[in-house]
Amino acid sequence: MNRTPGEGELAGTAPSHDRDRDHDHDRTPPIPSSLCSRSRELTDAAADISFGALLDADIDIDIGTDTDTDTATHTRHEPRIQWATPDGLEIVGRGVAARFTATGPTRFDDVREQAARTFEALEYDGPAVARPRAFGGLSFHDSFESSANTATDSDTDRESDSATDATPTTAPWHGFTAASFVVPQVLVVRSDETTWLTAVSLDADTATQRLDDWHDRLADSSFPAMRSSGSPPGVTDTERTTSRAAWVEQVEDAIERIETTTLRKVVLAQSLSVGLDAEIDVPATLERLRRRYPNCYRFLIDHSHAGSHDASGTFFGAPPERLVSKRGEHVETEALAGSAPRGETPEADEEFADQLRDCEKVQHEHVLVAEAIRDQLTPVTSSLTTDDQQIRRLATIQHIRTPIEATLDDEVTHVLELVEALHPTPAVGGMPPDQAWETIHETEPFDRGWYAAPIGWFDGNGDGEFAVALRSGVATDERVTLFAGSGLVADSDPHDEWDEVQLKFRPILDELRPEKASSDQSETQLDSAATETGGERPYPR
């Protein structure tokens, strides 16, 4: 790798804006001479609009009326985002007012510089909760590149866009790049008891007109306030990148490295390609995930280019883990490592939780993650607090969680600086980071793309929030590619780790199958696992 992952420049050193600049003229986007944004509160029926319907609606960005359904202009190819947090903030966005992309080892610095110039030109009139933000994410490896971001967006405002030097990558990540964020032209933000509409454009008149047009369209009684979460598309087939025998060999090789080198932990992942009976409705799938996993993040990132016949896939998920949140000087993060199934009764559930607390292997793995996070934050904080361990219970799985809060000193001003320092945490990479990344690169037979990488948003003040893109998948046509991994330490058992990965596929996989089929399949998987492990259900890992 070109840099030591998880070891960003947070220990009082200056940002590396001068290194690797021979291709900067290709990465730097045109900066708009002005950027204006207006907001207004949605009331009555408009406040209760369906976010899923808003994402799918064929509405032209500028005039607020229905478009035709020609594949070259259908708004499905228009970039769209959805973001929701466990504390109730929900945001959907359409279109591109500004785009920030970058590749290579300087991608964090490059995105920050592009965004700083754009946000400096922003004139905003509205409440803080509805302010323009940049939404997107980054790839797990900084060497990741894709060929689909070389086109420009078809936008009547010619609003800011950046093209990237890139080389092709394999499916399903076509259309993604090492770092990509968009400031949407239209945002709907729901928080607490209020819902806000925000429009962004190059000038105040266009922003105001766009705001009024969209307000009128959303207030129309024909726009749905509620939208069915639909039915799962059904599964026709599944294709694994890693067989069980290959997995056992990979885990044994990794354990040998841990025992014979300075590698202490590594997270290995699997990819599962799922064929569908019908094209997936991603917003409806996220709505079903919301009902089943209400205390998880939810995201949808579709950075397709408007008017493109070669659109990329849609990356979506319901991750349980916050990477970092920054509000002014206040920082919140967490260590989430160690997994067990949920019990069928309260007593069985608590037994699994007790085993998580008492298992030496689980505690060792969890402590590695918590210590690494503290080590990265300590040099740039005036205070840091680590809470007691908790059990994070989700619908099908439970984890050990250690909350961590800190107050920043004056050296860090942007959430992306924290993201760069923390990614990848040992919960998704390993320890030490450079050797873990090398092991992952040499072992996994697929490209992680944006899986297990930072996903989230930032604003013009450098504040923002990022989750770790776990429990996620990429939807392309009538296939969805899922990803899941497991942390390995010296006493890991390959078969236990296999069972953990299958358990982590379930949140998305269950929403692709009809309910009965999903339940039957889950029981079959667990019974099969029990047979191969001597008659016991999977033990906490």
Q: Which of 101-110, 142-151, 219-228 has the highest mean pLDDT?
A: 101-110
> How many residues appear in the chain?
541
Gap between the Cα atoms of 332 and 318, Å rounded: 19
pLDDT of residue 221: 66
- Considering the candidates 265, 326, 361, 504, report the single residue annotated as catalytic: 265
Contact 313, 301 (CB under 8 A): no
Q: What percent of the chain stands above pLDDT 70? A: 78
**DSSP of 502-513, one letter per residue?**
HHHHHHHHTTTS
Angle at 245 between CA 241 and CA 251, to 5 degrees: 85
> What domains, with CATH codes, occur in the chain?
17-218 (no CATH), 235-529 (3.60.120.10)
At residue 132, the 3 state secondary structure works out as coil
Beta bridge partners of 316: 300, 473
pLDDT of residue 304: 58
Contact 395, 520 (CB under 8 A): no
Rg, the chain, Cα only: 23
Beta strands in 233-372 (DSSP E): 235-240, 265-276, 298-302, 314-317, 322-327, 330-341
Gap between the Cα atoms of 154 and 152, Å rounded: 7
Only one residue has tokens 């992942």, namely 269
Beta bridge partners of 324: 466
- Predicted confidence band of residue 167 (pLDDT cuts 50, 70, 90): very low
Average pLDDT, the chain: 83
- Predicted confidence band of residue 477 (pLDDT cuts 50, 70, 90): confident
pLDDT of residue 110: 96
Lowest mean pLDDT among 61-75, 159-173, 310-324, 373-387: 61-75
What is the C-alpha end-to-end distance of the chain, expressed in Å?
Answer: 29
Gap between the Cα atoms of 522 and 516, Å rounded: 10
Contact 315, 176 (CB under 8 A): yes
- Predicted confidence band of residue 71 (pLDDT cuts 50, 70, 90): very low
- Predicted confidence band of residue 72 (pLDDT cuts 50, 70, 90): very low
Beta strands in 280-413 (DSSP E): 298-302, 314-317, 322-327, 330-341, 381-386, 390-393, 397-408
The yes-or-no verdict on residue 424 having pLDDT over 90 is yes
Contact 489, 258 (CB under 8 A): yes
The DSSP code for 7 is -
Mean pLDDT, rounded, for 436-463: 96
Render pLDDT for 96-108 as a digit per residue (tens, 0 to 9). 999 999 999 999 9
- Considering the candidates 113, 287, 321, 511, report the single residue annotated as catalytic: 321
411 counts as catalytic: no
pLDDT of residue 376: 92
The DSSP code for 95 is S
Lowest mean pLDDT among 168-177, 240-249, 436-445: 168-177
pLDDT of residue 147: 47
- Predicted confidence band of residue 278 (pLDDT cuts 50, 70, 90): very high
pLDDT of residue 73: 35
pLDDT of residue 282: 93
Lowest mean pLDDT among 68-82, 326-340, 358-372: 68-82
**DSSP of 439-485, one letter per residue?**
HHHHH-SS--TTTTSEEEEE-TTS-EEEEE--SEEEEETTEEEEEEE
pLDDT of residue 308: 41
321 counts as catalytic: yes
Q: Which one has a higher pLDDT value, 8 or 202? A: 202
Gap between the Cα atoms of 270 and 498, Å rounded: 9
Widest CA span in the chain: 70
The yes-or-no verdict on residue 141 having pLDDT over 90 is yes
Mean pLDDT, rounded, for 215-225: 78
The yes-or-no verdict on residue 33 having pLDDT over 60 is no
Mean pLDDT, rounded, for 205-218: 92
Lowest mean pLDDT among 278-282, 309-313, 354-358, 499-503: 309-313
